[in-house]
Amino acid sequence: MKIKLKEAADLVGGVVIGNPELEINGLAKIEEAKIGELTFLYLPAYEKFLKSTNASAVLIGPEFKRTRDDLSYIEVKNPHLALQKIIISFLKPEINWEGIDHSASLDPSVKIGKNVKIGKNVVVEEGCSINDDTTILHNTVILANVKIGTNCLIYTNVSIRENCKIGNNVIIHSNTVVGSDGFGYIPDASGAYQKIPQIGNVVLEDDVELGSNVSIDRAALGSTIIKKGVKIDNLVQIAHNVVIGDHTAIAAQAGIAGSTTVGKHCMLAGQVGVVGHIEITDQVIVGAQSGISKPVTKPGKYRGSPAQDMGQALKIEAHLRNVPVYAEKIKKLEEKIAFLEAKISEIISKGS
């Protein structure tokens, strides 16, 4: 990477303060950057590193003071988003091969689009289709009748089960499973669990990204649906017949039980658990380690287990942290009450 500061500023719509001809040869975190590198500042917690950074230039928001004259700056409204644009334009990793590796096993019926890349030991079964500009990396297995859209990137060791549908611009990271059997069993007269066939599929709409080791179960009937623009972190479990609304983000180790619907533009933080057969409305934010045990009908922020309005939950947590203090105060009050009761009894006995 070698670009002039002005080129980076033009790309992100920023204003150069300093030397527009400064040559940038890399990107780095503000506390680790070296001479010749561009860094960024968008969180107040990192402002302290501005005094000591060795970077040559900083992507900076207008709310921060530019305290060093020896640095050049690109002032931009959203430095984090600006950094993303620079990385995509100048540092995006490239897949360094063309075509289909000789070790891949593709059924003759598979339909392949233009500029498709398929790596070593990939298996694609009968009835599948893979559209233009899609890349499938090594050891991935795609079972029968899967449809994969345009410009997808599927990393190593991914499993996509039969009949699933993948939209355009989808990214699936390593070791993720799309379309595993839903957790469906029913006890018989003896109490032994009998498996309910899971004959539905999974649909990933356009612009979805799945992290590594994600499990998305196929529907018992119909489809488990991950809608447009959803982003799912590593180690997330999505059960059968769940529907996740457009542009919702789900962080690591969250789990959603079967037949639940999550609305649009929601955020589920790490280790959130959601029971089955409920609905969560649009624009809901759920704090880490919370448990959703009933429908959420109002947009807003929720926290706790069972989850409740975040403001109320934080007040309760504050009181819980003060329980030892409260216990000591109660003990002293009880002692005072006992003392006063003894005095009152003494006065009454003397009066009689």
Total domain count, the chain: 3
- Between CA 57 and CA 204 the distance in angstroms is 40
Same domain membership, residue 179 and residue 61: no
pLDDT in tens, the chain (352 residues): 789 999 999 999 999 999 999 999 999 999 999 999 999 999 999 999 999 999 999 999 999 999 899 999 999 999 999 999 999 888 777 778 889 999 999 999 999 999 999 999 999 999 999 999 999 999 999 999 999 999 999 999 999 999 999 999 999 999 999 999 999 999 999 999 999 999 999 999 999 999 999 999 999 999 999 999 999 999 999 999 999 999 999 999 999 999 999 999 999 999 999 999 999 999 999 999 999 999 999 999 999 989 988 888 888 888 889 999 999 999 999 999 999 999 898 888 887 6
Q: Is 216 within the bounds of a domain?
A: yes
Same domain membership, residue 48 and residue 20: yes
Q: Is 213 within the bounds of a domain?
A: yes
Bridge partners of 75?
15, 60
Same domain membership, residue 300 and residue 167: yes
Same domain membership, residue 234 and residue 188: yes
SS3 label, residue 172? strand
Count Cα atoms within 13 angstroms, Cβ side, for 20. Answer: 7
Domain containing residue 335: 322-351
Category of 259 on φ-ψ map: left (φ > 0), alpha (ψ -120 to 50) or beta: left
Give CA torsion, residues 28, 31, 33, 39, to 10 deg.
50
Q: Is 100 within the bounds of a domain?
A: no
**Is 102 noted as a catalytic residue in this protein?**
no
Q: Which H/E stretch holds residue 7? A: helix 5-12
Residue of 102, 138, 240, 277 with catalytic role: 240
Q: What is the pLDDT of residue 95?
A: 79
B/e letters for 39-75, b = 16+ CB within 10 Å, e = fewer, are bbbbeeebbebbeebebbbbbbbeebebeeeebbbbb
What lies within 8 Å, CB to CB, of 171 at 6+ separation is 152, 153, 154, 155, 208, 209, 210
- Between CA 170 and CA 218 the distance in angstroms is 18
The strand pair at 72-75 and 15-17 is best described as antiparallel
Domain stops at, among 60, 90, 120: 90
Same domain membership, residue 170 and residue 304: yes
Q: What is the pLDDT of residue 352?
A: 64
Same domain membership, residue 29 and residue 9: yes
How many degrees, rounded to 5, is the angle at CA 209 between CA 258 and CA 150? 115
How many other β-carbons are positioned within 10 Å of the β-carbon of residue 222?
A: 15
Token pair of 155 as six digits: 């990393």
- CATH number where 205 lies: 2.160.10.10
